[in-house]
Structure 1
Amino acid sequence: MNNLTSKITAVLMMVLLTLTAYAGGSYKKKADIVDTAVAAGSFNTLVAAVKAAGLVETLKGEGPFTVFAPTDAAFAKLPAGTIENLLKPENKDQLAAILTYHVVSGKVKAKDVVKLTSATTVQGSDVAIMVKDGAVVLNGNSNVVTTDIATSNGVIHVIDTVILPPAS
């Protein structure tokens, strides 16, 4: 029994060391934007939308990108049926426009975002940025709730409301 205990202890130590290395990032390459969003578990709608819009390969690309990522709760604030409608193949271009409006080229960390009044998105339109009561707000209604989630190809800032590009 002592030999079995030793083997179990050795395996548990290996698992613990692996998990510690993963958490610290010292042995494993940092995940890209898409894989980071998938692993977080709170961006299921965003990930589904990125897939439906055909943007997975782009957001797994070299970048760097800054993504203002709406949570599942942010998508839930949209009127009933909006997500289902946008995920239809015939609305792929509209969905892509909305998603790329959440992406800025380059790696813009929070310390730099707070200095901006706007940023040009990959979609082509500007998003308004303001600091209100110490918090960053996009387009006057979307709060940045978590900043500087580092990925291998950029940075993610979590927002609580989906932002929509201006009507063309």
Structure 2
Amino acid sequence: MKSFRLATAILALSTGMALAENPMVGGAPMLETKNIVENAVNSADHTTLVAAVKAAGLVDTLSGAGPFTVFAPTNEAFAKLPAGTVDNLLKPENKDMLVKVLTCHVVDKEVMSEALKSMIDGDKGSHAIKTVGGCTLTATQEGETIKLTDEMSDVAMITIADVKQSNGVIHVIDTVMLPKM
């Protein structure tokens, strides 16, 4: 009888996990059947990121098969940059720098938060993440919060983790990660 109750509890738990939905981001549902760009355009918190992705010519890349992990800075994260920085990056003559900044938020594999926490633990509290932009982000954990430090020593917190996409995962962050300049 005890093993039957245990099996029933495990089945109920696994069924509940299978039915778990993605978190809402920027007031919009994030559908696992849509890709990173298709979901991001619906987030009111990511209009600056979407504009930057379009200006950088990265829409097709981030709509591709992946898998990708995108650390997606919010509008508020972009607003923390010095005045004029975003407008300057969006100018056509600064496209290369914009691409560099944006690709420093992208990893060429899907990395869910539990896997990242395991990597942090396995590396004794600090895990280096290589991005497709050639940057290295350093992941650490404080309590349940995962933090990322960029090459300029800026620190971002993952505020919404594990937003599954058809071509990877998004983790929402509160600070723009910058390459070493």
Q: Distance in 2 between matches of 1:134 and 1:149?
A: 17
Q: Is the 8 A contact 2:32 2:164 kept in 1?
A: no
CA displacement, residues 17-47 of structure 1 (integer Å, 9 cap, x when unaligned) = xxxxxx89xxx87110011111122100000
For structure 1, which runs of at least 5 residues remain unmatched after alignment? 1-22
| Mapped pair 1:66 → 2:69 | yes
Aligned residue among 86, 89, 102 for 1:86: 89
Aligned residue among 135, 139, 147 for 1:137: 147
What is the aligned partner in structure 1 of residue 166 from structure 2? Answer: 152
| Mapped pair 1:111 → 2:124 | no
Q: 1:71 to 1:163 in 2, by over 3 A?
A: same
* Percentage of matched positions with identical amino acids: 50
Q: Distance in 1 between matches of 2:155 and 2:171?
A: 15
CA displacement, residues 110-133 of structure 1 (integer Å, 9 cap, x when unaligned) = 101113311110001211110023
Q: Distance in 2 between matches of 1:132 and 1:29?
A: 28
For structure 2, which runs of at least 5 residues remain unmatched after alignment? 1-20, 23-30, 120-126
Within-5 A mapping of 1:15-30: 30=33
Within-5 A mapping of 1:3-14: none
For the aligned residue pairs, the C-alpha RMSD in angstroms reads 1.6
State the number of aligned residues: 142
Q: Distance in 2 between matches of 1:163 and 1:143?
A: 11
What is the aligned partner in structure 1 of residue 131 from structure 2? Answer: 121
CA displacement, residues 44-77 of structure 1 (integer Å, 9 cap, x when unaligned) = 0000000000000000000000000000111111
Secondary structure of the residue aligned to 1:115 is helix
- Is the deviation greater in 34-43 or in 50-59? 34-43
Structure 2 length as normaliser, TM-score? 0.75
Find runs of 4+ consecutive structure 1 residues off by over 2 angstroms. Answer: none
Secondary structure of the residue aligned to 2:171 is strand
What amino acid does structure 2 have at the position aligned with 1:131?
Q
Secondary structure of the residue aligned to 1:107 is coil
Q: Distance in 1 between matches of 2:170 and 2:84?
A: 27
Q: Distance in 2 between matches of 1:74 and 1:103?
A: 16
Q: Distance in 1 between matches of 2:55 and 2:38?
A: 16
